[in-house]
Amino acid sequence: MATAAAPSRSFLQVAATEEAVAPPLRVVQMEGLVILKIIKHCTEFSPALVTGQLLGLDVGSVLEVTNCFPFPIREEDEEIEADGANYQLEMMRCLREVNVDNNTVGWYQSTLLGSYQTVELIETFMNYQENIRRCVCIIYDPSKSNQGVLALKALKLSDSFMELYRNNEFNGEKLREKNLSWVDIFEEIPIKVSNSALVSAFMTELEADSPVTQSDYDRIQLSTNPFMERNMEFLIDCMDDLSMEQQKFQFYYRNLSRQQAQQQTWLQKRRAENMARKAAGEEPLPEEDPSNPIFKPLPEPSRLDSYLITNQVSNYCNQINRTSRMVMLIHHILAWLFRPQVSLPRY
């Protein structure tokens, strides 16, 4: 279903001009149907992590997601891999017969407390990016949604990061050159929701009569302790990983400086030898010796892992921050309810 972005031009004309320059992706427009499907699939299989495919249209600076279908849980077996591809083809074919947009625009996955920044995610992105010009990944967190928040995020890799990753040049110089820090790996895109008029009419009719909804109950509950505890556990694990990565770097730099010191002493010795030889009238020896192991360049450890871990840590921190602020808010209200004359300090 093509939306009339500019009614004076036909869709074909718009599509033709798209080839010239691709406007940056500014917003992801999802249908309520897709949101409900994603929520259903992820919540049913929680805490296992599941994925699925997104279908829709790529129009200008908006990526419309109009339908989706879930993937079965994949076993690590070769013949079942082929099954998975068959399933996908079968679903796409069947959906095309009923006029659903047959265009893959990305995939969705569920996550546990926001720990989704892994190397697999980046690899999947690169795989998709080869075939589709613009793709997006929707992340849904079922555990956070138990607290009355719709934890839905649309992500894509930033272009500068993709270039670096493709060329596999993840060392310090290149990163400094491009000024790429760990926040620049993923870009979050705002999500817009749209519904067809028919569905909106139905929902208006079927809306529950009571003014208080389930999400309200979820929001004002005080027992967020299990959530916070798990968050802290993950945070601590991640900090351990981060410190291990940092130790790797320290090790590398120590080795590098030691190697350079060795090279210097060897060079000095060589120069002294050459002076002696020149005095004796012999040929000077070359000042480089590639066969000597101390001249072997040390591989610099990739910074990708530490960047990803940093992303995860920052995610956990943000979540803890937000949740504790909410809980403190409720505490204030509770305290006021009981003892209205006592005023608590503001935070």
Partner 1 sequence: MASADQIVLQFFPLSTSLSAKVHPLVIFNICDCFVRRPDQAERVIGTLLGSVLPDGTVDIRNSYVVPHNESSDQVALDIDYHHNMLSSHQKVNPKEVIVGWFSTGFGVTGGSALIHEFYSREVANPVHLTVDTGFTNGEASIKAFVSVNLSLGDQQLAAQFQEIPLDLRMVEAERVGFDILKSTSVDKLPTDMEGMEATMEQLLALIDDTYKYVDDVVEGRVAPDNAIGGFISDSVSSIPKISPPAFDKLVNDSLQDQLLLLYLSSITRTQLSLAEKLNTAAQIL
Residues in 142-161 at the binding interface with partner 1, rule: CB under 8 A: 145, 147-150, 152
What are the φ/ψ torsions at residue 147 (nearest 5 degrees)? -105, 20
Sign (positive/negative) of CA torsion 140, 144, 145, 148? negative
Per CB under 8 A, the list member of 94, 119, 126, 294 interacting with partner 1 is: 94
Q: Which two tokens stand for residue 99?
A: 């006029």
Minimum gap (Å) between residue 101 Cβ and partner 1: 9
Under rule CB under 8 A, residue 3 binds partner 1:
no
* Amino acid letter, 73: I
Per CB under 8 A, the list member of 23, 24, 72, 284 interacting with partner 1 is: 72
Under rule CB under 8 A, residue 181 binds partner 1:
yes
- Please say which residue, 17 or 200, places its beta carbon nearer to partner 1: 200
| Contact yes or no for 185/209 (Cβ under 8 A) | no
E strands of the chain, at which residues?
A: 27-31, 51-59, 62-70, 104-110, 136-140, 152-157, 186-189, 191-194
Please give the residues from 18 up to 47 whose contact with partner 1 meets the rule CB under 8 A.
31-33, 35-37, 39-41, 44
Cα–Cα nearest to 164, from 134, 132, 112, 126: 126
Under rule CB under 8 A, residue 131 binds partner 1:
no
CA distance 241 to 254: 20
Per CB under 8 A, the list member of 199, 267, 272, 294 interacting with partner 1 is: 199
- Please say which residue, 23 or 190, places its beta carbon nearer to partner 1: 190
Under rule CB under 8 A, residue 90 binds partner 1:
yes
Under rule CB under 8 A, residue 11 binds partner 1:
no
Q: Which residue is it, tokens 């493709």?
A: 166
- Please say which residue, 134 or 332, places its beta carbon nearer to partner 1: 332
- Please say which residue, 146 or 274, places its beta carbon nearer to partner 1: 146
What are the φ/ψ torsions at residue 30 (nearest 5 degrees)? -110, 155
Minimum gap (Å) between residue 230 Cβ and partner 1: 13
| Bridge partners, 139 (sequence order) | 109, 153
Under rule CB under 8 A, residue 57 binds partner 1:
no
Q: Which two tokens stand for residue 189?
A: 């895109």
Per CB under 8 A, the list member of 77, 130, 207, 283 interacting with partner 1 is: 207
Cα–Cα nearest to 57, from 102, 10, 113: 102
Q: Could you tell me which stretch among 9-17, 161-169, 171-179, 271-279 binds partner 1 (CB under 8 A)?
A: 171-179
Under rule CB under 8 A, residue 321 binds partner 1:
yes
CA-angle at 119, arms to 118 and 121, nearest 5°? 70
CA-angle at 296, arms to 290 and 300, nearest 5°? 150
Under rule CB under 8 A, residue 267 binds partner 1:
no
Minimum gap (Å) between residue 319 Cβ and partner 1: 8
Per CB under 8 A, the list member of 110, 111, 143, 310 interacting with partner 1 is: 310
Minimum gap (Å) between residue 283 Cβ and partner 1: 33
Please give the residues from 99 up to 128 whose contact with partner 1 meets the rule CB under 8 A.
99-100
What are the φ/ψ torsions at residue 339 (nearest 5 degrees)? -130, 80
